Amino acid sequence: MIKPLLRNIGTTVATTIVAATAIAAPAAAGDVHVNSHRTWACSVPSGYTWSSVRINTNCAFRYEYFLLDAVNYNLTGVWACTIPSGYTYTSSRQGTNCSASPGSSPYEYRLAKA
């Protein structure tokens, strides 16, 4: 009778500790969450573009991107480093905002809804 009771208590305590750890653990530098518009992240998720890139040694590829959510926000008139789906561009310019990583394009595009 005591062994099954202790086993149940042990399982409950272990489950509680695992759940608390999952809730309290900080997000990794590369995690991208909903509502990441105008925040820095180590990767660019689907539906996003970015307007700037900078070195961050905590990121797997050593760069992080300033995200712009092209799905939930109208980015018309915004300068971006890539042209997301559903957009076109009205002008382009060469600069340093997009070209921190080797081999990347130095161009920025002024976005407009397609």
Q: Which of 31-40, 72-81, 85-94, 97-106 has the lowest mean pLDDT?
A: 31-40
Q: What is the pLDDT of residue 103?
A: 79
Cβ contacts of 69 within 8 Å, gap of 6 or more: 36, 37, 47, 48
Mean pLDDT of 9-22: 39
Tokens standing for 32? 């991208």
The residue ranges of every structural domain in the chain are: 40-113
pTM above 0.95, yes or no: no
Structure tokens at 42: 């180590």
27-36, 89-98, 99-108 — which is least confidently predicted? 27-36
* 19-28 pLDDT per residue, tens: 333 333 333 4
Q: How many helices (H) and strands (E) does the chain have?
A: 1, 6
